[in-house]
Amino acid sequence: MKSRIANICAHLSIVWSLMLLTFYVTDRYNDKMAFINHDMTKGLMALLTLTSLVCAAYLLLIRGWGLPLRLCFGIPVGIAALASAVLLTVDGVMPQYILFTYDSVKAVPALLAVTSVAASLALIVWDRRALRRTSDES
Partner 1 sequence: MSSVRKPMPVWALILIDVLLLAVFLSVFCYFHHIREIWGIGVDPDVTAEPVMIITKPPRRTASDSTTLFTPITDPAPGTDEEPSTDGSGNPVTTEKIPEVTEPTLDTSGDFGYLHADKFAQGAGEVNRGEDYYQSHDVYIRVTAVDTKMDQLPKKASTQKISTRVKYYLADIYVRNIENFFTSYSAGKNKSFDQLLSGTGALFAINGDVFNTGTTSKEVIIRNGNVIRKKDYISSDICVLYWDGTMETITPDEYSWDKIAAQAPYQAWSFGPELLNDDGSAKTKINSNVWRLNPRAAIGYVEPGHYVLLVVDGNRDDTGDGGDGLNMDEMAKILSDAGCKRAYNLDGGASVYGYYDGEMLVSFEGERTISDIICVGEAG
Instruction: Give the residues lining the site for partner 1 (CB under 8 A).
Output: 3-4, 11-12, 14-16, 18-19, 22, 27-35, 37-40, 44, 95-96, 98, 101, 124, 127-128, 131-132, 134-135, 138
Crossing angle of helices 67-93 and 103-137, rounded to 10°:
140
**E strand segments, the chain:** none
Q: Least CB distance from residue 78 to partner 1, whole Å?
A: 22
- Among residues 8 and 71, whose Cβ is nearest to partner 1? 8
Burial bucket for residue 52 (CB in 10 Å: 0-12, 13-18, 19+): buried
- Among residues 68 and 96, whose Cβ is nearest to partner 1? 96
Q: Least CB distance from residue 3 to partner 1, whole Å?
A: 8
